[in-house]
Structure 1
Amino acid sequence: MTTSPTASRKSEPPHTGHEFVMRFTSTPRGARLARLLVGERLDAWGIPYRSPAHDTLSLITGELSTNAVQHGHVPGRDFRVRLTVTTEVIRIEVTDTRTERRLAGTRRPTTPPPDSETGRGLLLVKHLATRWGVTPRVGAPGKTVWAELFMRRAVARSRIT
């Protein structure tokens, strides 16, 4: 008798310490692929599609990856995504190689004018993440923007919705 991958995946304990790291081309296509692959990894690790934690992390990944492409792009250099899941925290990190452009106001992103079509990505990250921040790259040019979602908060959201 064979079991389907979905059935066996559901019986595995979710959130038991996983890591996914990959470099992506610094293009809109690379940002989209980063979001999609992070979503696939989350589902494979027991955080199913359409769950609040999955949707939140996918959105955060999309915003941080798009920012890396739009504001951290250096011709010929990729950006890197690192996703870690433990029993306590889901953490996403997006690293670009642009040094001279630092994130302004990382603790208090500014609200764009109401008619602006851009400029709300970090506001979304600030609202959705439990914690987030920016750290300089060690030993190389660039910065890492990271966001964390505590598992207790993710579980609480799923019970509400």
Structure 2
Amino acid sequence: MSRASRSAPISCLLLAALALFAVPAHAEEDVPYWVSLRADEANMRVGPSESYPIEWVYQRVGLPMKVVRKLSGWRLVEDPDGTRGWIVSRFLTLERSAIVLGDEPVAIRAEPGAGAKLLWRAEPGVTGSLGDCKAGFCRFSVEDKSGWVAEKALWGTGEP
């Protein structure tokens, strides 16, 4: 048996082993994506297990976050301030939300357009449910109030 024919089975076994342990190309295609906090209190940790220290404690249901990585039951998320850390996936929901950005209150209008009737104003930091977006405006609901806000005034819209 020649050296080449002896190494062929070993090469095939190595390739097969690599194929078993390699992450498929499509496995990360579903990230990033938007989520919202579903819990009254959620710990952000520096790593994906309860043995890692808590970096931040969130106490804001509906806060939008961006999932940038998945590992078992954990999600590496980014919050509106750009802070990243790991949160248990059961504390997150796929229900879309957004948060008002900036330093000044933003206009919430009756229709999607800068000239539409002003309904109310939302202060920076207000979170709400996010609806459809069109023509640079998004449907935004806070408690029992709803209207349209300029998409650029919100974090949590568009493609993550």
What's the TM-score bracket when you normalise by the shorter of the two chains? under 0.3
Instruction: Report 1 or 2 for greater relative contact order, CA contacts < 8 Å, sequence distance ≥ 6.
Output: 1
Which has a greater percent of strand?
Answer: 2
Which has a greater percent of helix?
Answer: 1
Q: Which has the larger radius of gyration?
A: 2
Q: TM-score with structure 2 length normalisation?
A: 0.25
